[in-house]
């Protein structure tokens, strides 16, 4: 197989896109052939997400079983290789580094390290800086395979035939996962929801000053309690829960998001990619300066040309 880089894909759709895009760019810089481990991370009972990159025009091949860590023996082998990685002159793993607060940033230390012919890459790598030099290639990698089918959705014409503005509110942030549904986390989640709404209301006022006749479309993982009285503008909810089309709702939702003209983004990686993948050359993208109730995990998450509110 020659010199390879195998990226371990995990988590939800937005995370998967970051992992692949960064691995694609790093493999190119290291002159390695990129392979995708599409299974190992999803075997855990704790991981309820599903591999989703097969919905895009991905050029990289799926790794064979020898380059995955699927069985118990593979699990033990991976743990051993990671534990002893720092002792090796030629590293088997390139893993995204985090500080004591689990915060990371854009890093280029991979350019100064010596790696084994078979290199494994793990981490979120949530920064455009990793792949900005091959932006057009990444955009081509993430072309939707079933775009024609998604365009038959009833929301599509409304979005493309208006000065559409996408909005995203992420709910239940702190109660996701096993054993997190506590009263304290419910309170924190709702406070974060309200903070996102406040930021969105401010951003909408800015949009109205810059865009003629804007029409606002709202995405959310849960529309419960998102009443119109909380917003200082009218918006249409993109609710795909009851659609009859035989499609992956995650991919359809992201496709519709990319068709908007302008974007008000929050800290969601799904939301981030919707804005980034939009082909509108004159798109206006607004992002939050900070949230009291939520800290982003990568200090280089936001592209420099996105407006801060």
Q: What is the pLDDT of residues 109-130, one digit of tens each?
A: 999 999 999 999 999 999 999 9
Q: Is the pLDDT of residue 35 over 90?
A: yes
Average pLDDT over residues 165-171: 95
CATH 3.40.50 fits 147-308, yes or no: yes
pLDDT tier for residue 251 given thresholds of 50, 70 and 90: very high
The full set of domain ranges for the chain reads: 4-134, 147-308
Predicted pLDDT at 45 = 59
Which value, in Å, is the radius of gyration of the alpha carbons in the chain? 20
In angstroms, the CA 192 to CA 94 distance is: 34
Q: Is the pLDDT of residue 231 over 90?
A: yes
Q: Give which of 308, 302, 291 is closest to 195, Cα–Cα.
A: 291
pLDDT tier for residue 302 given thresholds of 50, 70 and 90: very high
pLDDT tier for residue 236 given thresholds of 50, 70 and 90: very high
Q: Is the pLDDT of residue 17 over 80?
A: yes
- What single DSSP character describes residue 217? E
Average pLDDT over residues 150-178: 92
Q: How many residues does the chain have?
A: 309
Q: How much of the chain, in percent, has pLDDT values that exceed 70?
A: 98
Of the candidate ranges 5-14, 45-54, 279-288, the one whose mean pLDDT is the lowest? 45-54
69-96: pLDDT as tens digits = 998 999 999 999 999 999 999 999 999 9
Q: Is the pLDDT of residue 191 over 90?
A: yes
Query: How many alpha carbons fall within 13 Å on the CB side of residue 61?
Result: 9
Average pLDDT over residues 263-270: 95
Q: Is the pLDDT of residue 1 over 80?
A: no
- Give the global pTM: 0.94
Predicted pLDDT at 46 = 64
Predicted pLDDT at 295 = 87
* Parallel/antiparallel/unpaired status of strands 115-122 and 262-264: unpaired
Average pLDDT over residues 283-302: 93
Main-chain phi, psi angles of 251, to 5 degrees: -75, -40
Give the mean pLDDT of the chain.
93
């Amino acid at each position: 197989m020659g010199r390879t880089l195998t990226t371990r894909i995990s988590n939800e759709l937005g995370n998967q896109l970051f992992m692949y895009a960064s691995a694609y760019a790093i493999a190119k810089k290291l002159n390695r052939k990129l392979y995708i481990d599409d299974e190992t991370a999803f075997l855990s009972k704790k991981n309820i997400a599903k591999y989703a990159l097969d919905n895009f025009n991905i050029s990289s091949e799926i790794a064979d079983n020898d380059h995955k860590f699927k069985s118990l023996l593979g699990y033990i082998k991976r743990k051993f290789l990671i534990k002893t990685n720092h002792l090796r002159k030629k590293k088997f793993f390139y893993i995204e580094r985090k500080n004591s607060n689990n915060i990371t940033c854009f890093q280029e230390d991979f350019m100064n390290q010596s790696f084994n012919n078979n290199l494994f890459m793990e981490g979120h790598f949530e920064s455009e800086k990793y792949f900005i030099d091959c932006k057009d290639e990444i955009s081509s990698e993430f072309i939707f395979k079933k775009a024609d089918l998604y365009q038959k959705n009833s929301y599509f014409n409304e979005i493309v035939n208006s000065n559409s503005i996408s909005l995203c509110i992420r709910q239940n942030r702190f109660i996701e996962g096993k054993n997190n549904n506590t009263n304290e986390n419910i309170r924190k989640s709702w406070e974060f929801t309200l903070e996102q709404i406040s930021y969105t209301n401010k951003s909408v006022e800015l949009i109205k000053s810059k865009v003629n006749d804007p029409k606002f479309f709202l995405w959310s993982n849960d529309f419960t309690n998102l009443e119109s009285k909380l917003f200082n503008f009218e918006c249409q909810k993109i609710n795909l829960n009851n659609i009859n089309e035989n499609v992956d709702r995650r991919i359809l939702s992201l496709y519709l998001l990319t068709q908007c003209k302008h974007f008000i983004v929050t800290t969601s990686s799904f939301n981030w990619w919707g804005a980034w993948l939009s082909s509108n050359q004159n798109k206006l993208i607004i992002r939050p300066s900070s949230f009291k109730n939520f800290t982003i995990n990568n200090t280089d998450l936001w592209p420099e040309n996105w407006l801060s509110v």
